[in-house]
Amino acid sequence: MKVSYSPQLMEEAVFRHLNHLERSGYRAGYDEYHSLADPIYELPEDDREIAFAKVNKIFFIERLKLGEHVLRALEAVGLIPKRKRVSRKAQLAAAAMESDGYAGESEESDSDTGSDETSLEDQPPLPTDTDQQEENPTTDESSEDADGVISYDLAREFEERINEVTVKRAINKVDEGSNVLNRISGRPVIEMRVLASRFCNPEEAQELDAFLIQEFMHAKDMVDPEFDYEDAFIPGNPSVKNLITARFRLLWNMYVDSRLGRAGIISTMPKEARYREFDNFYRKIPEKQRRGIFEGIWRTDTFTHEELLSMATDLESLMSKYVDDVDMSEEERDYIHLQGSPCPLCKFPTYNWVDDPESICDEMVIEAIQIDFPDWESKDGGCDRCIEVYELRAGV
């Protein structure tokens, strides 16, 4: 697996990071950058872009070690095996001395960044600045003790399966996220889009790491044969599709968060905040059962893509999986009118329920329905279309 960063991301991240340091009173990195970048303006215009890109890369990877965030996130989710937590020099020494799997691994992750280093060798040696020594301890410790979510061997398999991870600059927050290209044909490429501003403040490093981990977890699921991701066709009109998509995203996020929680890794959102999201989508389920479903999903070790999608599409499958029959009578269930459950009149999956038509409709409407459906009661509810049809029929 190769990890690469777009020139645009490196440029903006380095620029913002150095400016932040400079404002905080650490000028060394800033001055050093300018001592390398300023002479580039003397070069012929055609050569400048490449020269700037080279300086930005030195700073992004070597000086400010911003790529470490990405590598640590890849380790945490198990897309690459854990590297040893030692300094680069010690790491090289260890790689030279040992011959077991770990040593081989650290050798390889060195050669990964090594390709970047070789391009730096013709550069004049740069003095180490104090800024870095200030910030390195904090960035190195943040997720150090996390166990990650999968074992070494499995991580190794993922690393081999994936061709490349490209990290690009997102234009705005909506643009942020990850995607997997060549998922089916050839070797997959994980494309990550992230705001460069996230790299600017070392104090926000934990947020950046949590974001990257969250996104890489999704990407990992997408290339995991066990998860069996498929570009599924979601039926229904646009509003139905949006609702199912939103619910699917929530359930998948819960699946990501709960695994991270078990591995002791901090997620982008605490569990209670996730529950509030869940709450919004499933408000019609009584509180007790709602909590039960949420906890049930949270405790589940593995899901497939299909399982998550079917739970997002059909609430019966969600209910039957996590709500005990003894907890809820058949009658109670029927009156919940979950989005997606069938209207008792037309039998179509219903997303816009009229829960108790009696309370809003004329008596004639209720009577008109009961002529066609003698067993129907107002609390059985109906879809808004059916109610509308019967309103027309009753002439109100």
CA dist 225 to 158, 161, 221, 222, 228, Å? 10, 11, 8, 8, 5
* Cβ distance to Zn ion smaller for residue 194 or 383: 383
Q: How far is the CB of 353 from Zn ion (least distance, A)?
A: 9
Q: How far is the CB of 394 from Zn ion (least distance, A)?
A: 16
Q: How far is the CB of 164 from Zn ion (least distance, A)?
A: 50
* Radius of gyration of the chain measured on its C-alpha atoms: 28
* Cβ distance to Zn ion smaller for residue 27 or 385: 385
* Cβ distance to Zn ion smaller for residue 165 or 338: 338
According to DSSP, residue 290 is labeled H
Q: Count of residues for the chain? A: 396
Q: How far is the CB of 13 from Zn ion (least distance, A)?
A: 54
> Contact 178/218 with Cβ under 8 angstroms?
yes
* Cβ distance to Zn ion smaller for residue 294 or 351: 351
d(CA 251, CA 67): 30
Structure tokens at 53: 């890109």
Q: Is the dihedral of CA 355, 358, 359, 361 positive or negative?
A: positive
* Cβ distance to Zn ion smaller for residue 114 or 235: 235
Residues facing residue 189 across a β-bridge:
164, 181
Q: How far is the CB of 285 from Zn ion (least distance, A)?
A: 21
Q: How far is the CB of 382 from Zn ion (least distance, A)?
A: 5
* Cβ distance to Zn ion smaller for residue 229 or 390: 390
* Cβ distance to Zn ion smaller for residue 120 or 389: 389
Q: What is the DSSP string of 83-130?
A: PPSS-HHHHHHHHHH--SHHHHHHHHHHHHHHHHHHTTTTSPP----H
Q: How far is the CB of 343 from Zn ion (least distance, A)?
A: 3
According to DSSP, residue 78 is labeled T
Residues that bind Zn ion (CB under 5 A): 343, 345-346, 383, 386
Listed in sequence order, the residues at least 6 apart from 170 whose beta carbon sits closer than 8 Å to its beta carbon are 176, 177, 193, 194, 195
